[in-house]
Structure 1
Amino acid sequence: LNMSYNCLDRHVEAGKGDRTALIWEGNNPSEDRRFSYSELLRKVQKFANVLKDLGVEKGDRVCLYMQMVPQLPVAMLACARIGAVHSVVFGAFSADSLRDRINDSACKILITQDTGVRGTKQNIPMKANADKAVAQTPSIEHVIVVKRTGELVDMKDGRDIWWQEEMAKANAECAPVEMNAEDPLFILYTSGSTGKPKGVLHATGGYLVYTNYTFEQVFDYKKEDIFWCTADIGWITGHSYIVYGPLSNCATSVMFEGVPNYPDYGRFWSVVDKHKINIFYTAPTALRALMKEGNDWVNQHDLSSIRLLGTVGEPIKEPEWMWYHTVVGKEKSPIIDTWWQTETGGILITPLPGAIPTKPGSATYPFFGIEPVLLTEDGQEIEGNDVSGLLAIKASWPGQMRTIYGDHQRFIETYFSQFPGYYFTGDGARRDKDGYYWITGRVDDVLNVSGHRIGTAEVEGEIGKAKGVAEAAVVGYPHDIKGQGIYAFVTLMTGVESDPSIEADIRATVTKGIGPHAKPDKIQFTPALPKTRSGKIMRRILRK
């Protein structure tokens, strides 16, 4: 058993080496590259040898801090090949966030790039951020740098090495390491309701089975289909449905370096037209932003290749569902609204195309073998239909996370202690009269902003570092594009007056501590925050 063998060698040995595995679509519309299964296998074996030559062994952790460049999936598969555990950190995270994630799992190697391009940003300082982080990460022995833009960056002798140079001299053959089903495959950090991010750990066997089978069934995958999931590989959606699910099925998967509005609002649709995409999987937040710009951007492209549309990341509302169905899908492509989490490894609640009649905004029914239940606050199962409650899962499934890296106690407390015998999702849901599930959103202190999970405690902790701030409380509020926006209530130190420079400082502090996706949309200064007798902030009141 080895993940890279199942994603690459298996297909090449079956005579399918010439099939396209990955299509990389660059930020600039004129840049794209195709990689066949044979070519990808060759690159993965070479990079696996680069890692081995640096002393990486089975069980060692390797951190990947990159934009959407083709070297990212190559590095993931190379880690899997030699039994190293990869930890991908989303490329927009700050140096501080990167440092904390490297230290939490004591990574031995960091892989990054010189600078990044994304939309109008032409030089995202990836290596500079990495250098800042690595100044405080004692476990890092080497930093491998991909040359993406050719920008001049600092390279530290003896520590930093160029990806391209190492690949040029690496041996082209590397046998896959035999793995046990429960051997760890990767760690991916996700926001929790307390400040510290959780290192969600997935294991080889179950995750392979679950991503493989959900990809094939949920997306009704047919040989020759071109599949495009617009997510970033820095999130679980990219791990499961850009890399592992599609490649284990010998599919053709598209990865996109850019953004939906660059060079214009028609970018998604021009890519669909250019690569003749058959299955398109994106987030409601992107659809809302594009819908706002009108239908012309869609209509000037040929989308006739599309036969299935999907959404992920947050519940989709009826207006964008209808727009997706009529304007993008021309009323002929089923829409699958998929509900799942970093922790679940793959899709749990979803329509199966053609088999389950859809309703705009409902994730419909559980996938095979998944047993969702609705619970009361005190853990009683709510029977029957037309009811609402806390969403929990009754039985285990192969893709389930195995632990929080380095903190099994927190794993038990977070997911299993509130309702013993159930996996508690942290979401609320309702089951309608037909037994369809409608996800109503988080019931804990976690926000869903543009499909990204952000913990309120994390943001509050960063705001507290800004000058003049005494205390902060953060809640979500309905946002037209992002789904949820971040609303911060801030009390200032005695004698400090609120002014725009403090607001700017708060936003800058959060960007530095977490990343730009977590900065508050609205900041309200207030003399005091509502609290319980024990001193807990009453966010319920602030939400109103």
Structure 2
Amino acid sequence: MAYLWTPPAALVEQSNLSAFLRATGQPHYDALAARANADPAWLMEEVFRFCDVRFYRKYDRMLDLARGQPWARWCVGGTTNIVLNCLDKHRDTAVWDQTFLVWEGEDKHEQRRLSYAEFAAEVGRLASGLRQLGIGKGDVVAIYMPNLAETFVAFFAILKIGAIVMPLFSGFGPAPILSRLNHGEAKAVITANGTWRRGVGAPLKSVLDEALASAPSVRHVIVFDRGGLNIDTPMQAGRDHWWREIAQEGADLSTAEMNAEDPAILLYTSGTTGEPKGCVWTHISFIGSMVTRDMIICGDFKPSDLFFFFSDMGWMVGAMCACIPSFAGGRLLVAEGTPDFPDTGRFWRLIAEHQVTYLGVSPTIVRGMMRYGLEVENYDLSSLRMTASGGEAWTETPWRWFFEHVCKSKLPVINISGGTEVGGCIFTGTPNHPMNPCAFSRPALGVGADIVDLSGNPVADGEVGELVLRHASIGLTKSLWKSDQRYLDSYWNTIPGIWVHGDFAMRGRDGLYYILGRSDDTIKISGKRTGPAELEGVLTATGKVAEAAVFSIPHPVKGSAIVCACVPMAGAATSAALSEELAQALVRGMGASYRPEKVLLVEDLPRTRNMKIMRRVLRAVFEDKDPGDLSALANPEAIEHVRRSLKAS
């Protein structure tokens, strides 16, 4: 079997996965995975032992399925806290005085470094201030902050007192903030007066204030002064507090002892219609899944690594940035602003100057940086040891560009996919397995991943099917916030007894795994189901478009027809000739039946805060229908861009 990349023997020998295989006595990954799926409780016992997961009180039972798979309970009787595992355990060790967090502002001359000891002291001071305000166990506290060191201080301070973190995307307007605050019944919000965005001071507190006018549960707002912004920040007496005034100097607050399955993080993901879904991670679920099982064991994150994933606290990656390096005793790089400002090479400069060793990317970031050509070649990226990608399905052109120009055709791309509801991975890459473009090495350990038809029967290699989980895993959301029935209907009731994730997937004849897009985005042409990613890959391969989104619409004769929305490369002329060229590319690449009904050339595509393109919104705009829940849109102005293109076409 031909592979684009095969792991060097030395990398395999030194990987955390190989060490875990030796520790568990398993000969290879597939044997380990089979045992893990047969006995998920055994797997987690081994993960906890290997990674030294800490408890105040050891659990009585690893897994309780008395109420069935949807209601699985983990670490029954055990007590712990994310802060115990990510900060407190390093006290009185060599790690304590080492650097944990490196921060750089949009102006690179603004930089900070915090050791574990310094960072934990800041966490303790804020936690004491929150406690003085009457915030405690079980209270929901939202974080509406940009990429600052204090954003991560706030994350751990909330958890330290046993409250529940509700991350909010820092680009949200008042409406999505309001819906989440009210649905989660948040008691407090931690925010900043503003941040720098492309050289302009962007307010945050004033945006939040609009939402708070209709959010009666919020009793306290803690405001960090970003400094240097010259932004007016009105403060409401009795409700609003400056961070510097409530943080308790010299505070030495003990970390709250929590039941292992007490809620720790309430993170919302967009629903197709109606209100967004509140996913619940517990103090043990995220540590046991994404942090240890997925990223340390399979993803090979090591204590010597500096982790950098340019993201926002409002997405799953925010919690990953907080917990993965801190649990391992590694380091974290945090950057304010955007990857391509104040100059288009900023993203690469950050990696080179700070000597990043473990780089996370989304395909959207890569496509965005591709627009600037081979500027990446001007930077020394030799510090990189490992790369990881997630958030959406790749297409081949940006994957190859990243592999060739960033990985230098030598480093693996640890491709991961799971989701907010899963709290970890369903498919994962590893440094022990070969790679092909866009592929995943294997199903994640112990999650019961399978690819099935609509009756729940496994499909053959090379055939497309629904991605499912055959049993609960430790990371799965604990129902949906205040919505047990919606939880069952969304995931467990489509094929009774099986979690249906909503993605189409395939095990290729190369033995690797591929995600082909959301199953509700599937395009059926001439009786054949096709994932939009395959068609979008043909369009981006022309080199004429930076991004593409393909969706289907009803057709009176053919049943369904294809519409393409494309963002031309920087400097490219938008014209009828380009639209026709792209249409012809699909015909040549896929066949005459795939000729699109229309090719729209747009300035931007509507996407969620974690940069997933919302094809259902494009379809609704094209058909002049209600697009449903738009609260997760990071760029609502893109809808108007699409409407203008429609009128002009």
TM-score scaled to structure 1, two decimals?
A: 0.83
- The aligned runs of 1:425-440 (5 Å cut-off) are 425-440=501-516
Among candidates 82, 86, 98, match of residue 19 of structure 1: 98
SS at match of 1:516: coil
Matched with 1:333 is 411
SS at match of 2:443: coil
In the alignment, structure 1 residue 360 sits paired with structure 2 residue 437: yes
For residues 370 and 288 of structure 1, the distance between their equivalents in structure 2, rounded to whole angstroms, comes to 31
Instruction: Give, in angstroms, the shift of residue 15 of structure 1.
Output: 3.2
SS at match of 1:522: helix
Matched with 2:210 is 132
In the alignment, structure 1 residue 408 sits paired with structure 2 residue 488: no
Single out whichever of 483-492 and 255-264 deviates more from structure 2.
483-492
Matched with 1:542 is none
Contact 1:96 1:513 in 2 (8 A): no
Check 1:42–1:476 CA distance in 2 against 1; reply closer, same or farther (3 A cut): farther
In the alignment, structure 1 residue 489 sits paired with structure 2 residue 622: yes
In the alignment, structure 1 residue 516 sits paired with structure 2 residue 596: no
Check 1:142–1:223 CA distance in 2 against 1; reply closer, same or farther (3 A cut): closer
Contact 1:316 1:337 in 2 (8 A): no
Q: Which letter maps to 1:407?
A: S
For residues 330 and 631 of structure 2, the distance between their equivalents in structure 1, rounded to whole angstroms, comes to 38
Matched with 2:401 is 323
SS at match of 1:29: coil
Matched with 1:472 is none
For structure 1, the 5+ residue unaligned runs are 457-474, 493-505, 528-544
- The aligned runs of 1:372-383 (5 Å cut-off) are 372-377=449-454, 379-383=455-459
Q: Which letter maps to 2:388?
A: G
Matched with 1:532 is none
For residues 632 and 350 of structure 2, the distance between their equivalents in structure 1, rounded to whole angstroms, comes to 34
Q: Which has the larger radius of gyration?
A: 2
For residues 226 and 306 of structure 1, the distance between their equivalents in structure 2, rounded to whole angstroms, comes to 9
Contact 2:453 2:459 in 1 (8 A): no
Among candidates 44, 48, 68, match of residue 123 of structure 2: 44
For residues 314 and 394 of structure 1, the distance between their equivalents in structure 2, rounded to whole angstroms, comes to 22
In the alignment, structure 1 residue 145 sits paired with structure 2 residue 223: yes
**Alpha-carbon displacement from aligned partner over 1:153-202 (angstroms, at most 9, x marks no partner):** 111111111012222x4452110111111100010111011221111111
Check 1:513–1:423 CA distance in 2 against 1; reply closer, same or farther (3 A cut): closer
Contact 2:306 2:358 in 1 (8 A): yes
SS at match of 2:113: strand
Q: Cα RMSD between the aligned structures?
A: 2.8
Matched with 1:75 is 154
In the alignment, structure 1 residue 443 sits paired with structure 2 residue 519: yes
Q: Which letter maps to 1:396?
A: A
SS at match of 1:430: strand
Check 1:131–1:513 CA distance in 2 against 1; reply closer, same or farther (3 A cut): farther
Single out whichever of 358-367 and 82-91 deviates more from structure 2.
358-367
Instruction: Give, in angstroms, the shift of residue 24 of structure 1.
Output: 1.4
Instruction: Give, in angstroms, the shift of residue 97 of structure 1.
Output: 0.9
Instruction: Give, in angstroms, the shift of residue 101 of structure 1.
Output: 0.5
Q: Which letter maps to 1:234?
A: G
Instruction: Give, in angstroms, the shift of residue 244 of structure 1.
Output: 1.3
In the alignment, structure 1 residue 345 sits paired with structure 2 residue 423: yes
For residues 283 and 185 of structure 2, the distance between their equivalents in structure 1, rounded to whole angstroms, comes to 20
Among candidates 237, 245, 260, match of residue 165 of structure 1: 245
Single out whichever of 338-347 and 266-275 deviates more from structure 2.
338-347
In the alignment, structure 1 residue 10 sits paired with structure 2 residue 130: no
- The aligned runs of 1:184-199 (5 Å cut-off) are 184-199=263-278
SS at match of 2:91: helix
For residues 172 and 51 of structure 1, the distance between their equivalents in structure 2, rounded to whole angstroms, comes to 12
For residues 105 and 286 of structure 1, the distance between their equivalents in structure 2, rounded to whole angstroms, comes to 30
Contact 2:143 2:190 in 1 (8 A): yes
Q: Which letter maps to 1:246?
A: P
In the alignment, structure 1 residue 386 sits paired with structure 2 residue 477: no
Contact 2:277 2:480 in 1 (8 A): yes
For residues 637 and 268 of structure 2, the distance between their equivalents in structure 1, rounded to whole angstroms, comes to 15
Aligned pairs, number? 485
Contact 1:489 1:524 in 2 (8 A): no
For residues 433 and 202 of structure 2, the distance between their equivalents in structure 1, rounded to whole angstroms, comes to 44
For residues 60 and 512 of structure 1, the distance between their equivalents in structure 2, rounded to whole angstroms, comes to 23
For structure 2, the 5+ residue unaligned runs are 1-79, 523-531, 537-548, 552-562, 570-604, 606-611
SS at match of 2:93: helix
Contact 1:491 1:526 in 2 (8 A): no
Instruction: Give, in angstroms, the shift of residue 390 of structure 1.
Output: 0.9
SS at match of 2:112: strand
Q: Which letter maps to 1:226?
A: L
Instruction: Give, in angstroms, the shift of residue 489 of structure 1.
Output: 2.5
Q: Which letter maps to 2:205?
A: K
Check 1:132–1:416 CA distance in 2 against 1; reply closer, same or farther (3 A cut): same
SS at match of 1:111: strand
Q: Which letter maps to 1:489?
A: F
Contact 2:270 2:629 in 1 (8 A): no
Instruction: Give, in angstroms, the shift of residue 292 of structure 1.
Output: 2.3
**Alpha-carbon displacement from aligned partner over 1:412-434 (angstroms, at most 9, x marks no partner):** 11111111221111111112113
Contact 1:24 1:256 in 2 (8 A): yes
- The aligned runs of 1:196-345 (5 Å cut-off) are 196-213=275-292, 214-240=294-320, 242-295=321-374, 297-345=375-423
Contact 2:168 2:313 in 1 (8 A): no
Check 1:300–1:7 CA distance in 2 against 1; reply closer, same or farther (3 A cut): same
Check 1:512–1:60 CA distance in 2 against 1; reply closer, same or farther (3 A cut): closer
Check 1:126–1:510 CA distance in 2 against 1; reply closer, same or farther (3 A cut): farther
Give the share of equivalent positions with the same residue, in percent: 32
Matched with 2:560 is none
SS at match of 1:425: strand
For residues 510 and 100 of structure 1, the distance between their equivalents in structure 2, rounded to whole angstroms, comes to 11
Q: Which letter maps to 1:516?
A: N
Contact 1:8 1:37 in 2 (8 A): yes
Instruction: Give, in angstroms, the shift of residue 524 of structure 1.
Output: 7.3
TM-score scaled to structure 2, two decimals?
A: 0.70
For residues 512 and 267 of structure 2, the distance between their equivalents in structure 1, rounded to whole angstroms, comes to 30
For residues 476 and 403 of structure 1, the distance between their equivalents in structure 2, rounded to whole angstroms, comes to 36
Matched with 2:602 is none
For residues 515 and 634 of structure 2, the distance between their equivalents in structure 1, rounded to whole angstroms, comes to 27
Matched with 2:236 is 156
For residues 646 and 370 of structure 2, the distance between their equivalents in structure 1, rounded to whole angstroms, comes to 36
Q: Which letter maps to 2:207?
A: N
For residues 440 and 368 of structure 1, the distance between their equivalents in structure 2, rounded to whole angstroms, comes to 21
